[in-house]
Chain A
Amino acid sequence: DTGVSQDPRHKITKRGQNVTFRCDPISEHNRLYWYRQTLGQGPEFLTYFQNEAQLEKSRLLSDRFSAERPKGSFSTLEIQRTEQGDSAMYLCASSLEADTIYFGEGSWLTVV
């Protein structure tokens, strides 16, 4: 069990550029989540996949954000035309059904 892994761990980008984060969940986990966390706040839910199906999206997920999990394994989160307000840590998590949710180390995004 290698845990949830995320890549890259840190990304600095200029405003207006696109960025993509990758998440590899724990291998047998069928559920995958994306959360966003800013300083001093708890993680905020963005979206959730059951296998390859994206079943829920938060209103926080504007149309500049898109997430995929094409084969029900790894997932990508893309942010288009980044804004300074997108600066945050993007956390991926996975679980087996509705069991314990395990978080990855997170991907820090800084938009300058």
Chain B
Amino acid sequence: QQPVQSPQAVILREGEDAVINCSSSKALYSVHWYRQKHGEAPVFLMILLKGGEQKGHDKISASFNEKKQQSSLYLTASQLSYSGTYFCGTDEIGANNLFFGTGTRLTVIP
């Protein structure tokens, strides 16, 4: 079941913050976040496990509300290198693969 991401696109100035949301109608074991640059493969950012803590590295962090089957990715003090399409991949309980949303295109401008 494909998760729903919002917003579909966002434009930020360098230094601004953004939040990307991901929600599923299925019970989830984990949520994975990836960033994809145009023409390249998705690059793993972080994984949020059921019962786990909020994760983060550098200025990118994420949370997972397992009761609501929702996850949010937080980008603070955005940098030009953050530009790309962000995908959440949901790992449904009982499934053996990830279902990906349609992505959120993030553009950071100087």
Contact = CB atoms under 8 A, between A and B. Distances in A.
Contact of A100 (B47, B87, B96, B102): B47
Interface stretch (B11-19, B37-45, B60-68): B37-45
A101 B87 CA distance: 13
B60 to A, nearest CB: 16
Contacts of A106: 40-41
B32 A101 contact: yes
A33 B97 contact: yes
Size category of the binding interface on chain A:
20 to 34
Contact of B42 (A43, A55, A56): A43
A80 B2 CA distance: 27
Interface in B29-62: 29, 32, 34, 40-44, 47
Contact of B97 (A41, A56, A103, A105): A56
A35 to B, nearest CB: 8
A100 B55 CA distance: 14
A105 B41 contact: yes
Interface in B84-107: 87, 89, 91, 96-103
A48 B96 contact: yes
Interface in A39-58: 40-45, 48, 50, 55-56
16 contacts: A40-B103, A42-B87, A42-B102, A43-B100, A48-B96, A50-B96, A56-B97, A91-B41, A98-B91, A98-B96, A101-B32, A101-B98, A102-B44, A103-B42, A104-B41, A106-B40
Interface of A: 31, 33, 35, 40-45, 48, 50, 55-56, 91, 98, 100-106
